[in-house]
């Protein structure tokens, strides 16, 4: 399994503008849930720590394989979401990694 994590800081001059951006981001990514082959899990998290170095929002997703993640990166619906949200972010960070398989329970 491949885990794909993306964190953003969003534009906004006040909490209401940031909240609107977060909701827009959430709706856009939610639209991908059942149309990306190999996408096993998708979750949007909003920072609750309020520390000055925290990102505003995170996308946590799991893919069945690297090939599935590659397919997602090139999928037309993913490109649509990226275009919809291009004006929202001021910073973006990403980590992709292979998660070791857990041993089967006896």
Instruction: Tell me the CATH number at 61.
Output: 3.30.70.100
The pTM of the full predicted model, rounded to 2 decimals, is 0.88
Inside any domain, residue 8: yes
From the centroid of its chain, how far is CA 27? 12
Inside any domain, residue 104: no
Model pLDDT, residue 100: 82
Inside any domain, residue 29: yes
Element (H, E) at 66: helix 66-74
Instruction: Name the packing angle between helices 66-74 and 76-85 (round to 10°).
Output: 60
Kindly report, residue by residue over 56-101, the tens digit of the pLDDT: 999 999 999 999 999 999 999 999 999 999 999 999 999 999 998 6
**Domain range for 36:** 2-98
Inside any domain, residue 84: yes
Q: Do the Cβ atoms of 59 and 44 come closer than 8 Å?
A: yes
Over range 11-34, report the average pLDDT. Answer: 94
Model pLDDT, residue 84: 93
Angle among Cα 57, 63, 65 to the nearest 5 degrees reads 145
Inside any domain, residue 106: no
> Each residue of 51-65: b (16+ CB within 10 Å) or e?
eeeebbbbbebbbee
């Amino acid at each position: 399994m491949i885990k794909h994590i993306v964190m953003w800081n969003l534009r906004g001059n006040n909490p209401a503008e940031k909240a609107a951006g977060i909701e827009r981001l959430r709706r856009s990514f939610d639209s991908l849930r059942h149309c990306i082959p190999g996408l096993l899990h998708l979750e949007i998290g909003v920072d609750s720590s309020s520390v000055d170095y925290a990102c505003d929002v995170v996308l946590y997703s799991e893919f069945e394989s690297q090939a599935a993640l590659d397919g997602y990166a090139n999928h037309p619906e993913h490109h649509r979401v990226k275009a919809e949200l291009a004006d929202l972010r001021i910073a973006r960070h990403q980590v992709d990694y292979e998660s070791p398989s857990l041993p089967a329970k006896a």
